[in-house]
Chain A
Amino acid sequence: MALCEAEKTFVLHGVEENFRIDGREREDYRPMELETDIVSHAFGSARLRLANTDVLVAVKIEVDTPFPERPFEGKLEFFVDCSANATPDFEGRGGEGVAIEISNTLSAAYSSPNVFDLKKLCILKGKKCWKVYVDILLLECGGNLFDAVSLAVKAALWNTQVPLVKQIDIDGNNVEIKVSEELYDCRKLDVEKAPILVTVCKIGEHCIVDPNVAEEQCSVGSVVVAVSEDKFSTILQTGTGSLHMSTLVDCLQLGIKVAQRLDAALWDTLTLECYTCSTTEDESDTTCLDNPSGVVGGVTDCDKKYCIIVRVDYKDPRGKLASILRSCVDKPTYTNDVIEDETHRVYYRSCRTAKCNGGSGRSDSTSDDNGSLGDKSTIYCPGIGDGAVAVTVSFSILLFAYAFVRYVR
């Protein structure tokens, strides 16, 4: 698609006015949607949709021999596949240039040990290491591929589970590795400092981020920056134009600022905010039970999937609290259940939205004696199921039910 001069002028004036054709300001991003853990055969995966740009990333891990010059390090490799479904331009070998550019930029961005430590992928010095294949599939191109790809790669690596090595047997030159058989006995990769790529596009006299296809055509030159925390890990000038020195510095400033915001947004989405506190019957401080939001430092950014509540009650006297634990886990022992033994009754609750394991656990009802779950257990341990919308709705109903029960009493 080639734009005509008038359309380009319209885009250009829009950028000057700080009101782009889709109503965004110069530093705004289009809506993004993220999904993780969607490819079951992969060790980690993510899909990111940025308006019309759609990227799927899957991570595969295999055992390999380290490079002889770097015996302590594992390997990380990026491969970009430009599906012809994305745009007809990618047909045949048309997407090769784009693919090489993206994968090279990513490997350059991840090359510094300050950004991503390959030493952690080493199993046995000089003999065995993990090789991480990051396969990137471009499903749809709607502009700004670099940013979308880097976000999806970071999310996929965050999602990746590296199998835990239990035992290494060395017999002469043969090395045998025994991997833990437990499915959930895995180690996560440390991707906190993994870089985020931001494309800064110069249109007219101004710099913008997240250009769409039309804006990419209007740009005279752009700079791709890879930012990890407050440092640049890679800078690459793209496009056919050249930039003035001061423009380049402006682009870098804008790039680092936006990248940090983008990184924060990604973490917000990836991590789950849960209340984390506990109390037992012997402790006089019952804030965790009554009002978890009142506990100092009682909220944690978990990189787990579920927020949970485990509440242990005495059977006699009925409903007397033994202990309550609010925390986060990857795989709850029981998602939503009540387990009883001789003396205790244990309520398990888990949910998947931010701060969903809150709510007061205090109830003055002690006479409800039918033994079933009933309303009572949900009052004790609010938050049901894993559906995001359902939880918010049911939660308000619960509050209402709680109030109602109190009123009746």
Chain B
Amino acid sequence: MPVDHKRINGPEETVPYSLFTKLNTKSLQQQFKEQVRDEKRSDNRLLLEHRKIFIKTGLVSQAKGSAYIEQGKTKVIVSVFDPREIPNRTDYSLKGEIYCEFKFATFSCTKRRLHQQDTEEKQYSALMKQALDSTVCRHEFPNFQVDIYAFVLHNDGSALSAAITAAGVALAHAGVPMYDLIVSATLGIQQNIKLLDPSVTEQWLCEMPVPLDGKVGNQGVIVMSMLQSHEQISQFYQVGNLSLEDITDSIKILENACKELIPLIQKHLVKHVLKTMKNKSEDK
């Protein structure tokens, strides 16, 4: 996507009004208590319960493959375009390349995003590429590049995971050869409370230490992507402050979460194929 440098982005320094509202005066501890109460979360989920997922393929007609995912309120569109020759490359590469671009819509977060990719979005693009590099059979299209664009319409936490899962579906829809379906999950950790598929507030609260019961301890967010049938982790990213035990436990939780997602996606893809076949036979 070309970046328009001349676009006027309004005043350079603007602040969302929500910072000045009374909500913001609550302490972190209070906010966290509101989110997690008696093993239940604010949206009535259990701690290790994934949000409901909705997937639809073929939304973007001009793309080779596309997928739209809703994970709770998080909404992401991913489109995959036809392989094209790697631009600005002189030497021959035996393996194909994957180009990923992750972008939050300007209106997707509480704070307005800019049109240009910021460092966070660039980081997410790199993580997406990392996840998909080992998923796609890159040796099947040497010297070519597959472009994948992820666009977040609404960010309610775990946007990167949603984008990676959707990218897997979009690649399958586009018919790009893959070793396995890729699924991704996010886990937020605050002391000994682990929150699977955190919402945006939960994720924000897990990114900093919150004093609970007068103690400050481990906190962090982990994003993991898996190739389920090969039991391979293709992408792993953690921030925060966690011990080795926390992480080994989290890996197990995330693995189970990924395992639960796989049949959903398989079912959807099969459904999609059957539907297309049906449509075709009707056309005849």
Residues on A close to B: CB < 8 A? Answer: 68-69, 97, 100-101, 103-104, 107-108, 111-115, 221, 223, 228, 230-238, 240-245, 248-249, 252-253, 256
A100 to B117, CA, bound (A): 13
What would be 16 A-B contacts, judged by CB atoms less than 8 Å apart? A104-B126, A108-B239, A111-B207, A112-B240, A114-B219, A114-B241, A232-B243, A232-B244, A234-B239, A238-B130, A244-B231, A245-B251, A245-B255, A252-B244, A252-B248, A253-B244
- How many A-B contacts if CB must be within 8 Å? 102
**Size band of the interface chain B makes with A:** 35 or more
With contacts A100-B122, A112-B219, A252-B247 taken as known, whether A231 is within 8 angstroms of B233 at the C-beta atoms is: no
B232 at the interface (CB under 8 A from A): yes
A104 touches B209 (CB 8 A): no
B-chain residues with CB within 8 Å of residue A242 when the two chains form the complex: 134-135, 227, 230, 232-234
A231 touches B119 (CB 8 A): no
**What distance in Å separates the Cβ of B121 from its nearest Cβ neighbour in chain A?**
11
**What distance in Å separates the Cβ of B241 from its nearest Cβ neighbour in chain A?**
4
B23 at the interface (CB under 8 A from A): no
Q: Within the complex, which residue of A104, A112, A235 is in contact with B123, where a contact is CB–CB below 8 Å? A: A104
B218 at the interface (CB under 8 A from A): yes
B270 at the interface (CB under 8 A from A): no
A114 to B133, CA, bound (A): 33
A112 touches B209 (CB 8 A): yes
Q: Within the complex, which residue of B111, B126, B134 is in contact with A240, where a contact is CB–CB below 8 Å? A: B134
A237 touches B237 (CB 8 A): yes
Given contacts A69-B19, A232-B242, A241-B134, 17 further A-B contacts (CB under 8 A): A69-B111, A104-B122, A108-B123, A111-B239, A112-B220, A114-B209, A114-B216, A234-B239, A237-B235, A237-B236, A242-B234, A243-B236, A244-B231, A244-B233, A245-B255, A252-B244, A253-B244
Task: Give the secondary structure class of B's interface.
Answer: mixed
B-chain residues with CB within 8 Å of residue A248 when the two chains form the complex: 233, 236, 251
**What distance in Å separates the Cβ of B268 from its nearest Cβ neighbour in chain A?**
23
A234 to B241, CA, bound (A): 8
Residues on B close to A: CB < 8 A? Answer: 15, 19, 111, 119, 122-123, 126, 130, 133-135, 207-209, 216, 218-220, 222, 227, 230-244, 247-248, 251, 255
B-chain residues with CB within 8 Å of residue A243 when the two chains form the complex: 232-233, 236
A307 to B220, CA, bound (A): 41
**What distance in Å separates the Cβ of B68 from its nearest Cβ neighbour in chain A?**
26
A112 touches B241 (CB 8 A): yes
In the A-B complex, the 5 residue pairs with the smallest Cβ-Cβ separation, listed nearest first, are A242-B232, A242-B134, A242-B234, A235-B238, A114-B241
B119 touches A100 (CB 8 A): yes
Identity of the chain B residue whose Cβ is nearest the Cβ of A231 in the assembled complex: B241
B243 touches A230 (CB 8 A): yes
With contacts A100-B126, A240-B134, A242-B134 taken as known, whether A68 is within 8 angstroms of B233 at the C-beta atoms is: no
Q: Within the complex, which residue of A107, A113, A234 is in contact with B209, where a contact is CB–CB below 8 Å? A: A113
Identity of the chain A residue whose Cβ is nearest the Cβ of B219 in the assembled complex: A112
**What distance in Å separates the Cβ of A112 from its nearest Cβ neighbour in chain B?**
4
**What distance in Å separates the Cβ of B3 from its nearest Cβ neighbour in chain A?**
14
B244 touches A104 (CB 8 A): no
**What distance in Å separates the Cβ of B281 from its nearest Cβ neighbour in chain A?**
39
A248 to B234, CA, bound (A): 10
**What distance in Å separates the Cβ of A95 from its nearest Cβ neighbour in chain B?**
15
A252 to B15, CA, bound (A): 40
